[in-house]
Amino acid sequence: MTRTLHVRINSSSDRSDLEDTLAALDAGESVDPKPSTLSVEDLETFGRIFRPTNLELLEAIADHEPESIRELARIVDRHPPEVTDNVTELADYGLVDLEENGRAKRPVVWYDEIDVDIPIGQHSPDIAPA
């Protein structure tokens, strides 16, 4: 089964997913601990998060399952401090989990694909309605 992370550009504070999850918990239902949707506030933020260097890191994590950020840096042939900064940013947005692995942190992705929903035209969050 393919696990998909849905990403959408949404400038409003749409909390319906959170509210649905809380309602399910209140009803005693089990819920997926990982949200399947990431809302990004604007296209500029989306571009920063999903820039080519970060996409390369996500692919390397999924393909090689490195034991540490240092190993990930070797895989992508970049300096460890730069990779650490990028992986920390990805973790802050929930795109990467950092599991304790002795003294190291092991980067892990829980999804197999990313589905992106980018509104255009008058529905775009970057354009104010007339």
Read off the pLDDT of residues 18-55 as tens digits, 9 standing for 90 and up: 556 556 656 776 655 556 888 888 889 999 999 999 99
**Structural domains of the chain, ranges and CATH numbers in brackets:** 4-121 (1.10.10.10)
- Find the mean pLDDT for residues 108-129: 75
Which residue is it, tokens 């940013």? 89
- State the alpha helices, DSSP H only, in the chain: 16-26, 43-49, 52-64, 69-76, 80-92
- pTM value is 0.75
Model confidence pLDDT, tens digit, residues 54-94: 999 999 999 999 999 999 999 999 999 999 999 999 999 98
- Residue 45 pLDDT: 92
Rounded CA-CA distance 126/128 in Å is 7
- Residue 2 pLDDT: 83
pLDDT band at 130; cut points 50, 70, 90: very low
Q: Are 80 and 66 in contact (CB under 8 A)?
A: no
Rounded CA-CA distance 80/70 in Å is 6
Helix, strand, or coil (residue 5): strand
Length of the chain: 130
- Residue 1 pLDDT: 78
Which residue is it, tokens 């500029």? 44
- Residue 34 pLDDT: 56
Q: What is the CA radius of gyration of the chain?
A: 17
Would you tell me the crossing angle of helices 52-64 and 69-76 to the nearest 10 degrees? 110
